[in-house]
Structure 1
Amino acid sequence: MRSKIDPKSMKEINKRIIFRHLIESGPMSRVELVRKTRLANSAVWRIIQELEEEGLISRKDYLERTATKGATVFGPSKSFACSIILDIQVNQSIIALGFLDKTWKIVDSFETNGLEKFLAKTDKVISKLCNQDDVDKNRTVLSISIPGVVDEEGSILSRAPNLQWQNINLVETFSKYGLKVTADNDANLSLLAEWFFSQDVRSAKNAFFLYFGEGIGGSLLIDGKIVKGRNGAAGEIGHTILKVLDSKYIEVEEMLSISKLVRKYEERTERNLRGNLTQKFENAVQKWRVGDKIATELFEEFTDNIATTLLNIGYTINPEVIIFGGIVNNIWEIFGNLVIRKIEILDKYDFMKGINYRDTVFKGTSPSLVGCNVAAIESLFVSI
């Protein structure tokens, strides 16, 4: 016996289809939407009217690429912020506003500086934002990225080793603002952002994001879905064992962390590099480029360890794509050719052949920040 299709459910599904098309593909006319979605003219016209009345989309200027001369073009509204973004990193955190048109605006950046001072600073900034006209308490999501293990529901931070935070109920901590609160690991959000913006990840069955920061994080996509694991720790490549020296286990993070590499250079040269962590890394790379002996030794070891880590990732999940990003977003551009040569020596069984390695598409900002806004947009898709 055939089950009946609920007309109300079908209308909701069609509404989400139209809304997703406008966000992911940009402004379109109703004629274009009919052609792309194959929905009836009447359905598209009705849904567009509903979305416009709800303030989710607005009429845009005519765009030549619509190929429907004179047609009214609709796109995501910027009348409200779909997210307040809290991108937490070990040294520096960022608060931003995210919008449905996939843009964001950084509001403040500050030293993370311990949990108590961090919460005091964020309270001051978020409280002020909540009084702005573009923050809608019914629709704006407080979206949090954190370098730690967060549960499947996006509410409990069980452990963030490099921050020395643990067992924090993030939803309760930030509930006082009256916003929906969601949180995830920085690497997971980075991979979500890549999936949203990049066709190679969206079309891949398996992919991996290797997150370089004060520590090392990882996120894996299996059969097109980001996997978090039993307690949210899936993909935590940084805390796997890379080497055993004198009966001591050496984690991947110890060998690949950007902050640890910079610290080693400063200790061995007895000179402090200038700038923030990203700038210090760039300065160390410049030393390597001109043949500085200590930089050459450190980056030789660094690239050896990247190659070994990639081999372990490749042999474990055999992804189509491996992406590099985080505090530094050009690791592969700088070291890719060198790392490939080292992988070819290690790869006895040719399992690594055909993998696409690349840097994140987000060059000027933290990919986890972008992922926070994507998470808020995805949350809104479900609610309409």
Structure 2
Amino acid sequence: MKYNSPWIKVLNKRNVLKIVHENRPLSRSEISEITGLTPSSVTRITKELIEEGFVQEVGSEGKNSPGRRRILLDIKSDAFISLVFDVGVNVTTYGLGYFDGTVTLGGSFETPKAPEKFFEKVKEIFDRYSATKKINRVSLSVPGMVDMEENRILMAPNLGWRDVVINDFLKLDIPILADNEANLSVLAEKYHSEDMKDVKEAVFIVIREGVGTGVLIDGKLYRGPTYTAGEAGHMTVDMRSDKRCHCSNRGCWELFASINWAIQHYEGKLEGKNAIEKFASLKKKQDSRKVLEKLAENIAIGVVNIVNILNPQIVILGGEVQDLGEYFYRIIEEEVKRRALKDATKELKIRPSIFGTVSSNLVGAAVLAVENIIENVT
């Protein structure tokens, strides 16, 4: 592809904003060193970014020549606001995402089973926020496969949604974004976690009513040519199983590694009107240790397959199991190291997500909006 001069200027501008975003705060001279752009070009670009509200000067430090201090640049976190949704099988959480990739929670509602009812609720919340704030993007985390080119939910098995074209249900005058929940969780970890800064290969596993995986390869999120990559929850782990999955196959990993499995195999009484609430109840029971240990083993079986195939440096677990404590992760790690290829586990780290009150996929939805805003800078 041949680039003309105006297009090169746009690409340089996006690159500078991305670098400020990822390395903030930093000086103009540092931007010049990182990008290879001349100091005058950096000065021109940063002047535009400041005028357009993307970047701000936040002070100074050190001296790069006698009598002069370096002026530092940072992004303006409230420059652009997105309305973000974590679409759960039973409960949907929403909040506001900011230009620094952070989120403030807004509330939650029971997820309607019909897509049209769900998007009516989204529009209602959008209208409420828009009355007092300028919303730049709506970004959705979906428990299923999303064709991002067509903005189409290909399949969300546990919701029973298939071939849902989002823009047919939600008509707004701003961009509407959506991606798989595990993909967004990888984005969130890559953006916010210190131990992910230099990682090229990683896998995020979301354990909820289903099991989803997001895959980072060569430092980039891998979605696949038809946006179905990372559906490890639907790999077959029991060829003789008569249990049918929501995807219509039998013996899928998520039938044994989701919170539904633990709920079904716990022999006591659980409180709650949905799987999330029942699993929260289960975790508090004194006699739940045995079933949770078995759940850890079931999760480990799938992790073994993932590790042998992808050789990731980090495997991160999120969703409803991330707070289960050291014993839970020790079981998974020991089982993975016992079963997986030895060389594949040499540098392997298995840990829970760093996110707690605000879910990784909700934060990821905010990061997705940030990336989209940067990609559309002109």
Q: Distance in 2 between matches of 1:279 and 1:334?
A: 22
- Is 1:190 the counterpart of 2:171? The answer is no
Count of aligned pairs between the two proteins: 366
The answer for the alignment partner of 1:8 in structure 2 is: 6
Q: Is the 8 A contact 1:150 1:157 kept in 2?
A: yes
**Which is bigger in relative contact order (C-alpha 8 A, separation at least 6)?**
2
Give the drift of 1:165: 1.4
Q: Is the 8 A contact 1:96 1:106 kept in 2?
A: yes
1:225-254, Cα deviation, whole Å (9 max, x unpaired): 322234322111111222245655422111
Check 1:178–1:246 CA distance in 2 against 1; reply closer, same or farther (3 A cut).
closer
Give 2:175's match in structure 1, choosing from 161, 175, 180.
Answer: 180
Structure having the higher helix fraction is 1
SS in 2 for 1:13: helix
- Is 1:148 the counterpart of 2:144? The answer is yes
Check 1:43–1:282 CA distance in 2 against 1; reply closer, same or farther (3 A cut).
same
Q: Is the 8 A contact 1:171 1:182 kept in 2?
A: no
Check 1:375–1:47 CA distance in 2 against 1; reply closer, same or farther (3 A cut).
same
Q: Distance in 2 between matches of 1:188 and 1:196?
A: 13
SS in 2 for 1:96: strand
Larger CA deviation: 13-22 vs 195-204: 195-204
Check 1:26–1:185 CA distance in 2 against 1; reply closer, same or farther (3 A cut).
same
- Is 1:316 the counterpart of 2:309? The answer is yes
SS in 2 for 1:203: coil
The answer for the alignment partner of 1:257 in structure 2 is: 258
Q: Distance in 1 between matches of 2:221 and 2:210?
A: 21
Give the drift of 1:78: 3.9
- Is 1:218 the counterpart of 2:213? The answer is yes
Q: Distance in 1 between matches of 2:154 and 2:45?
A: 42
Q: Distance in 2 between matches of 1:254 and 1:215?
A: 8
Q: Is the 8 A contact 2:297 2:331 kept in 1?
A: no
The answer for the alignment partner of 1:119 in structure 2 is: 119
Q: Is the 8 A contact 1:210 1:322 kept in 2?
A: yes
TM-score by length of 2: 0.86
Give the drift of 1:90: 1.0
The answer for the alignment partner of 2:95 in structure 1 is: 96
Check 1:334–1:110 CA distance in 2 against 1; reply closer, same or farther (3 A cut).
farther
Q: Distance in 2 between matches of 1:296 and 1:331?
A: 10
Q: Is the 8 A contact 1:327 1:366 kept in 2?
A: no
Structural RMSD (CA): 2.8
Give the drift of 1:353: 3.1
1:119-161, Cα deviation, whole Å (9 max, x unpaired): 33222111222333432xxxx1211111011114151112111
SS in 2 for 1:241: coil
Give the drift of 1:27: 3.0
Check 1:49–1:337 CA distance in 2 against 1; reply closer, same or farther (3 A cut).
same
* Residue identity opposite 1:47 in structure 2: I
Q: Is the 8 A contact 1:193 1:370 kept in 2?
A: yes
Give the gaps of 5 or more residues in structure 1: none
The answer for the alignment partner of 2:80 in structure 1 is: 81
1:232-279, Cα deviation, whole Å (9 max, x unpaired): 2211111122224565542211111124423532xx21x224698666
Q: Is the 8 A contact 1:79 1:134 kept in 2?
A: no
Q: Distance in 1 between matches of 2:341 and 2:192?
A: 34
SS in 1 for 2:209: coil
Q: Distance in 1 between matches of 2:106 and 2:282?
A: 30
Q: Distance in 2 between matches of 1:18 and 1:8?
A: 15
SS in 2 for 1:242: coil
Give the drift of 1:283: 4.7
Q: Is the 8 A contact 2:313 2:348 kept in 1?
A: yes
* Residue identity opposite 1:76 in structure 2: I
Give the drift of 1:301: 1.8
SS in 2 for 1:297: helix
The answer for the alignment partner of 1:157 in structure 2 is: 153
* Residue identity opposite 2:234 in structure 1: H
Q: Is the 8 A contact 2:311 2:344 kept in 1?
A: yes
Q: Distance in 2 between matches of 1:34 and 1:131?
A: 41
Check 1:93–1:47 CA distance in 2 against 1; reply closer, same or farther (3 A cut).
same
SS in 2 for 1:250: coil
The answer for the alignment partner of 2:247 in structure 1 is: none
* Residue identity opposite 2:229 in structure 1: A
